[in-house]
Amino acid sequence: MSALQLVTPGMEHLPQYIAAIEAGWSPSNVNGPALAALELAQIRSDAAAFLSGLTDPAGQGGPITLGDGRVVPRLPGYRRWMWDGEFCGTIGFRHQPGTAELPDYVLGHIGYAVVPWKRGRGIATAALGLLLAEIRPLGLAYVELTTDPENAISQKVIRANGGVLIGQFDATAYDKVELLWRIPLT
């Protein structure tokens, strides 16, 4: 096993990404199976367009339709794939330029998901640390992340990277209660 890296999604890594989804993993903890099915369909339709859509630092990919039917602007952001010689998972970042604030429909600046067969190895902790180093130059004062109240493992990952619990909130757009965490970047 090589040292963990964050890689820009590319054709050379795509077969392992597809295999992970086909094995039942999803790149999202929020809308897991639906997103997995959508991404497989997008890959089968146009793999190059799918990959380029994962990196949108200017937020120009067009609006997004939420589960509640609202159409909202796409935020600038990108995904990286966790790679240790094999596909380990995904981590994504989104933000509004010029502020650390996020719109109410965004559950946090950063989201991540590790494939089940790589869990328990510190991969999410390392990936979050690598991503924080990558985004520090943007000048944000902090990033926010959310977790389910029962997700002790993700909470440990966030704490290990300097995260502080801000409190609990009602994520009405997603019909659930979440914990809000903040990691200072300055």
Does residue 173 form part of some domain? Answer: no
* 140 phi/psi in degrees, rounded to 5: -70, 140
- Give the per-residue pLDDT at 174: 66
Would the pLDDT of 165 be above 70?
yes
Closest CA to 62 of 72, 48, 51: 72
Query: What's this model's pTM, rounded to 2 decimal places?
Result: 0.93
Contacts of 39 (CB under 8 A, 6+ apart): 21, 27, 50
Does residue 147 form part of some domain? Answer: no
Counting the structural domains of the chain, the total is 1
Task: Round the average pLDDT of the chain to a whole number and report it.
Answer: 92
Q: Please name every residue paired with 181 in a beta bridge, in sequence order, or none if there are none.
A: 145, 165
Q: Is-contact 183 158, C-beta < 8 A?
A: yes
Output the domain CATH number for residue 14: 3.40.630
Q: What is the dihedral of CA 77, 49, 60, 130, to 10 degrees?
A: 10
Domain enclosing residue 60, as ranges: 5-139
- Provide the 10 A C-beta neighbour count for residue 121: 14
Interval 165-176 mean pLDDT: 81
- How many degrees, rounded to 5, is the angle at CA 144 between CA 139 and CA 150? 160
Does residue 183 form part of some domain? Answer: no
pLDDT digits (tens, 9 = 90+) for 1-54: 579 999 999 999 999 999 999 999 999 877 778 888 889 999 999 999 999 999
- Give the per-residue pLDDT at 29: 74
pLDDT digits (tens, 9 = 90+) for 91-129: 999 999 889 999 988 889 999 999 999 999 999 999 999
Does residue 158 form part of some domain? Answer: no
Does residue 170 form part of some domain? Answer: no
Does residue 31 form part of some domain? Answer: yes
Does residue 111 form part of some domain? Answer: yes
Does residue 107 form part of some domain? Answer: yes
Lowest mean pLDDT among 70-74, 117-121, 138-142: 70-74
Please tell me the distance from the alpha carbon of residue 13 to that of residue 11, in angstroms, as a whole number: 5
